[in-house]
A = this chain, B = another copy of it.
Amino acid sequence: MSNSSNITGDSLLYLTDNQLRQGIEAMFFAYRGFTADPDRILGEYGYGRAHHRALHFINGSPGTTVNNLLNILGVTKQSLNRVLRTLVDDSLVEVKIGVKDKRERNLYLTSQGHQLQERLSSAQSNRMRKAFKNAGPNAVSGFKIVLEAMMDPELNRIYSNLREEGH
C-alpha cells in the first residue's frame, strides 16, 4: 500500500509492496525446498540440520577451530558442542589438538564423515543445479547478487572469506 502507486520516475517502479511480499514468500518456500532433500537423508541417521551445517563447514575449511565454527554458524558453544560430540562419537569428525596453540582444537572429517557430507551435498547440489540450469546464467548471477545484499554485513564478510578460500 505504501508505494504501490508512487510513480516517482526513479526507476524503482518494480518495488511494489506486492513484489516485496512475493520475494518474502519466495524465500520461505524456496528455503523449504532447499533443505528438504538433506533433511530426508539426515533422518535416516537420526541427525538434524545442525549436524549437516557442521559437516558442511568442516568439509569446506578442514582444520577449522571450534571458535571459528561458532562464528560461522552463529550458535552458542553449548549448542554446537552437543552436535559435535555426537559426530565425534560416531566417528564422522576427528579432533586434533592445535599445533601452534594447544588450547585450540582442529576439526576434520573422517572418511565416514566425508561419505555422509558427500551424500548430503550432492542431494542439495542436484536440486540447485537443476534450478540454476532451469533459470539460466543471468538469473543465477541475479540470485547471488540479491542474496549477498540480503545478508547482515557480518555474515557477508564471513561468506566472502569462505568464497576466497574455495579458489
Contacts and interface: CB of A to CB of B under 8 A. Distances in A.
A18 B60 CA distance: 10
B30 A147 contact: yes
Q: How many copies does the complex hold?
A: 2
Interface stretch (A79-87, A94-102, A103-111, A157-165): A157-165
B151 A33 contact: yes
Chain A contact residues: helix, strand, loop or mixed: helix
A144 B30 CA distance: 10
A47 interface: no
> Chain A: interface residue count, which band?
35 or more
A33 B135 CA distance: 24
A130 B144 CA distance: 15
A125 B17 contact: yes
A29 B125 contact: no
